[in-house]
Amino acid sequence: MIVIIRDPQKKVSSKSESHKDKIHGKMPIFSCSCGVKILVVPDLREMDKAIENHIVEHRTLSGQILTRDNLTQEILKVIIETINETSPFVE
């Protein structure tokens, strides 16, 4: 199950801030520019559903179109940053 936290009161001030809401336990959290936060989980089907649902929700909240590819790439950046920050093998 994907946890989606909607916080329309919080407006993100910068792209680096928006995508760096990190670890929830050990799982990263993706913070979208529209104020929605998505907990990244290892279940690919659930992540796929969350991505599809957020594309529609993003347009409703922000009035801007978000593509599946763009959202997926931004989520992957958060995962890679989290791995780099938490891995004992990365210097």
**For position 27, what pLDDT does the model report?**
79
**pTM (two decimals):** 0.66
Distances (CA, A) of 87 to 11, 28, 38, 52, 81: 30, 13, 22, 30, 10
**For position 83, what pLDDT does the model report?**
83
What sections of 1-91 are H helices per DSSP? 15-18, 44-62, 68-86
Domain ranges of the chain: 4-86
Tally the C-alpha atoms within 13 A of residue 91's C-alpha that lie toward its C-beta: 0
pLDDT digits (tens, 9 = 90+) for 28-68: 889 999 999 998 888 899 999 999 999 999 999 999 999 99
**For position 85, what pLDDT does the model report?**
82
